[in-house]
């Protein structure tokens, strides 16, 4: 299952990830940048600034499969447990796409046990990113529909590449599925009730310019400036005392987080009964066929 993995990072991960104390490495300077890479995610921590760069590298579209979510979870846990890390910039290593969102193959023709495990992993990643003690910045360097948009929405700040070809939004309605209440809450808290209501009902995907106009992303930059700008914004956020910022963030987000925690099992059951409906399975199959044709 996903939870044991997420809650208890493997011992080797924890040990390798903690910086060696002076006793362990006499006379050896600490490497300024430590990296760990899994199959689908690359993480590099710059110890001098306390900033980690997390890059999604699961071609073709960084879809949020169960494996991807588990790895994402473990990577975040390692960073949260590392005293040297104060902030994380989340971006993509795959051209033109940040993340295409939830992996539809995980929701099509599988067992109820599988649906439960998958949905718990989706919940877990949101709880972790939205509730993180670290400063989280999404450097959105490609399109980011549905679950990809949720990952960006869950961060403290969003910078997107100014490119008319890239879009972002919670477009679940287009696939005939409904964004859960916690997706909706996160969206409302960013763009306001009216914009969220219209956007969710229409399953809108917003161009980068539109996304900026409605406040879905905080700023737009040319592609070549994205990383540099994300690092500069991170420095502004890290200039504040951590505890004051963390307590403020917790105060702002606690009610939304608590709502899912209180209704977690019920939310999983709702997802299972919804996704198991033949009509929903049919529309997901249709969507997958359409994607195959596009290729």
Residues acting as catalytic residues: 102, 147, 171-172
Among positive and negative, which fits the CA dihedral 188, 194, 200, 206?
A: negative
Quick one: three-class SS letters along 86-155? CEEEEEECCCEECCCCECHHHHCCCCHHHHHHHHHHHHHHHHHHHCCCCEEEEEECEEEEHHHHHHHHHC
Q: What's the maximum distance between 2 C-alpha atoms anywhere in the chain? A: 66
Asked whether the beta carbons of 187 and 153 are under 8 A apart, the reply is yes
């Amino acid at each position: 299952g996903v939870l044991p993995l997420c809650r208890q990072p493997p011992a080797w991960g924890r040990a390798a990830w903690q910086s060696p104390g002076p006793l362990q490495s006499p006379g050896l300077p600490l490497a300024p940048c430590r990296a760990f890479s899994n199959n689908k995610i690359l993480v590099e921590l710059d110890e001098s600034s306390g900033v980690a760069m997390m890059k999604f590298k699961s071609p073709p579209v960084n879809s949020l499969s169960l494996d991807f979510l588990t790895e994402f979870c473990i990577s975040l846990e390692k960073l949260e447990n590392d005293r040297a890390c104060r902030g994380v910039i989340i971006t993509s290593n795959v051209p033109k796409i940040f993340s295409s969102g939830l992996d539809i193959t995980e929701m099509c023709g599988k067992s109820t046990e599988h649906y439960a495990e998958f949905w718990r992993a989706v919940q877990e990643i949101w709880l972790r990113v939205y509730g993180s003690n670290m400063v989280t910045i999404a450097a959105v360097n490609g399109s980011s529909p549905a679950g990809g948009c949720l990952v960006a929405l869950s961060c403290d700040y969003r910078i997107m590449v100014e490119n008319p070809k890239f879009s972002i939004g919670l477009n679940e309605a287009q696939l005939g599925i409904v964004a859960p209440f916690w997706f909706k809450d996160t969206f409302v808290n960013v763009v306001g009730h009216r914009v969220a209501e219209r956007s969710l009902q229409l399953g809108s995907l917003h161009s980068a310019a539109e996304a900026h106009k409605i406040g879905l992303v905080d700023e737009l930059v040319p592609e070549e400036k994205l990383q540099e700008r994300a690092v500069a914004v991170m420095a502004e956020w890290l200039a504040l005392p951590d505890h004051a910022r963390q307590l403020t963030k917790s105060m702002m987000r606690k009610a939304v987080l608590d709502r899912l925690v209180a209704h977690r099992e019920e939310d999983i059951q709702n997802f299972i009964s919804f996704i198991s409906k033949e009509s929903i399975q049919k529309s997901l199959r249709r969507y997958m066929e359409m994607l195959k044709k596009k290729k």
